[in-house]
A and B are shown apart, each in its own frame.
Chain A
Amino acid sequence: MKNSQEVLELDNVCTYIGRTEIVKDASFQIKAGDIIGLIGPNGAGKTTVMKTILGLTKFTGKITMSGAAITENNHHALEKVGALIEHPAIYPFLTGEQNLELYSHHHQDMVKIISELGMDSYIKSKAKGYSLGMKQKLGIAIALLNNPKLVILDEPMNGLDIEATIGVRKLIKKYADRGTAFLISSHILSELQKVMTRVLLISGGKIILNQSIGQFEAISHQKYKLTTENDEQAEHLFKTKGINFKKQKQYLIVGQEDIFKIQDELAKKKLHLKEMLPIEANFEQIVVDTLNKERD
């Protein structure tokens, strides 16, 4: 049921802490059903972007939620936003259920979220005794209460085991299919790769890339590593045919654009490929590549 209804828009937003500019000229949109991954290394400004959207910092530029402006002193537009920022907001002297009741407007809804996150067995005990992952789930549950149009999750997979991570991913997808938009941060690219529909890369407070996941995967998979029966011969061949390559351990690294040519040339010389695999570029590599491209 995806539609392209716009939920959130940032226009030239700069965030200041004291006099320091932390977020630098961020502009992007989030549409209903989008799952945006806000990816960046520690200190890149992910949390600050989220706090800014929630009207918790001093900023310039414009932020609108379904057309209504969000400012530091007017949060009316945030009514349909759920958020988990940095650490879950949980009172240890309340039970998990009471922590939810504190914010919940619809009891039925709350009960459903509890079971969706598999928290039924411990929801009635005091949050004091919860493990890191249990608290994290409760924080996610709080963010999902009251049918939000936009859910902001700051490093939601922190402390979750594999099973829980998969569960949360599924839940996010389910809500997104119903039209809820998500803005989710992580410093680990692969954590969100399986759910996100768009990627926002942030580094040093600047949004350096904003692409759909399809476009993004094209960049991040653009290198291949291969070995042949006789790599010395292959190297010589690549050199004479003007094919760029790098040596890395036992592999030869080549660009995606040369793949067909390489296969042809190797076939002509009757050199058999032993192995050829796409390389998933790591985060740092993509940031470096993107910045390099910007400079060109």
Chain B
Amino acid sequence: MIYSIKQEFFKLYHKKMFWLAPIIMLVLMIFTGYAIGSDEARLTAVMCYDATDWITFILIVIGATSFSMEYQNNAILTLLYKASNKIYVYLSKYLVLLVYDIFLHLVAVGYTIVLKGFLFKSNISWTSINYYHQPLWVNTLQATLLDLAVSMLIITIIFLLSCLINSNAVVMTTSLLVVLLGESISSDIMSKPKLVSVLKWNPFNMLNLSRQYGNYATYHLTTHLSNVELLMGTLIYIAVFFVIGYWIFRKKRF
């Protein structure tokens, strides 16, 4: 198992995207900082200058290739026979992406501190009280953790899709659509007022968690769930989709 994880890391850090991602992220964060300006300084700091969205895109690209590179390079058979159990192949890929996800979030927070301190100076200090009667730094930390949960949900979905569909282009497109349209799909699903009480628990709704945290009033109208409820839902869906994804992977013939 540890050996499989090492192999996955080896492959990951030899990919160009691995090193490019933090650079692309910085550029996009600076761009966001300038585009939004100082009016929304609080929100941009909490959301790490939209780094959370950029991380999602990076993870979709890397996550979608995680399995498809094995199919396309005929490595899946080698991986499977060398692993003492199929679960290790699946789990090690998942854990490595989790670690990379955490790494990207840490980088994002780091960039945010630097950008706020030097480039986008504002009179809102880290200790000033903001959302939910908490200091800004707590907000940023909580938003980052919540986004970590959402991005893991997205990775779980990507893995599930990768095991259903062999083409990484299709997996990438589908995942992007899910992420970009998730919110509107979700509100469409809930358009029948009577069923809202059940349908508000649909998985697409959970993708709004980190956005709702930074903008509760607007998002709560569409999600109909509190932050805590969204977090619970996210964690449960991670578990459910992980199990389904692995089950499909297990059944799959190569």
Interface residue ranges, A against B (CB under 8 Å)? 17, 51, 54-57, 73-76, 78, 81, 83, 85-94, 98, 101-103, 142
Shortest C-beta distance, B73 to chain A (Å), equals 5
Is B82 within 8 A of A75, CB to CB?
yes
Is B81 within 8 A of A102, CB to CB?
no
User: A166 to B72, alpha carbons, bound, how many Å?
Assistant: 30
B165 in the interface (beta carbon within 8 A)? no
Is A91 within 8 A of B73, CB to CB?
yes
User: A192 to B79, alpha carbons, bound, how many Å?
Assistant: 28
**Given A85-B77, A91-B73, A98:B85 Cβ within 8 A:** no
Which of A57, A76, A89, A98 is B73 in contact with, Cβ under 8 Å?
A: A89
Which of A91, A93, A101, A142 is B16 in contact with, Cβ under 8 Å?
A: A93
B194 in the interface (beta carbon within 8 A)? no
**Given A94-B14, A102-B7, A88:B85 Cβ within 8 A:** no
Which of B74, B78, B81, B86 is A73 in contact with, Cβ under 8 Å?
A: B86
User: A86 to B71, alpha carbons, bound, how many Å?
Assistant: 13
Q: Which of B74-116 contact A (CB under 8 A)?
A: 74-86
Interface of A is mostly: loop
Which of B11, B76, B86 is A94 in contact with, Cβ under 8 Å?
A: B11
Is B74 within 8 A of A88, CB to CB?
yes
Which of B74, B79, B85, B86 is A86 in contact with, Cβ under 8 Å?
A: B74
B-chain residues with CB within 8 Å of residue A51 when the two chains form the complex? 77
Interface size on B, as a range, is 20 to 34
User: A274 to B95, alpha carbons, bound, how many Å?
Assistant: 75
B-chain residues with CB within 8 Å of residue A103 when the two chains form the complex? 7, 78, 82
Is A87 within 8 A of B78, CB to CB?
no
Is A98 within 8 A of B80, CB to CB?
no
Is A17 within 8 A of B253, CB to CB?
yes
User: A88 to B74, alpha carbons, bound, how many Å?
Assistant: 7
6 nearest CB pairs, A to B: A89-B75, A54-B81, A89-B78, A87-B74, A75-B84, A89-B74
Chain B residue with the shortest CB-CB distance to A77: B84
Known pairs A91-B69, A101-B10 / 10 extra A-B pairs, C-beta < 8 Å: A54-B77, A54-B81, A75-B81, A83-B78, A89-B79, A90-B75, A91-B73, A92-B73, A94-B11, A103-B7
Is B15 within 8 A of A93, CB to CB?
yes
A-chain residues with CB within 8 Å of residue B16 when the two chains form the complex? 93
Is B77 within 8 A of A89, CB to CB?
yes
Shortest C-beta distance, A66 to chain B (Å), equals 16
Q: Mark B1-21, 1 if CB is under 8 A from A, else 0.
A: 000000100110011100000
Shortest C-beta distance, B79 to chain A (Å), equals 8
Shortest C-beta distance, B66 to chain A (Å), equals 12
Is B77 within 8 A of A74, CB to CB?
no
Shortest C-beta distance, A71 to chain B (Å), equals 11
User: A90 to B86, alpha carbons, bound, how many Å?
Assistant: 20
User: A91 to B77, alpha carbons, bound, how many Å?
Assistant: 13
Is A75 within 8 A of B15, CB to CB?
no
Shortest C-beta distance, B45 to chain A (Å), equals 36
Task: Give 30 pairs: A residue, B residue, CB < 8 Å, sorted on A.
Answer: A51-B77, A54-B81, A56-B80, A56-B254, A57-B253, A73-B86, A74-B85, A75-B81, A78-B81, A81-B81, A83-B78, A83-B81, A86-B74, A87-B74, A88-B74, A89-B74, A89-B76, A89-B79, A91-B73, A93-B14, A93-B16, A94-B11, A94-B14, A98-B10, A98-B14, A102-B7, A102-B10, A102-B11, A103-B78, A103-B82
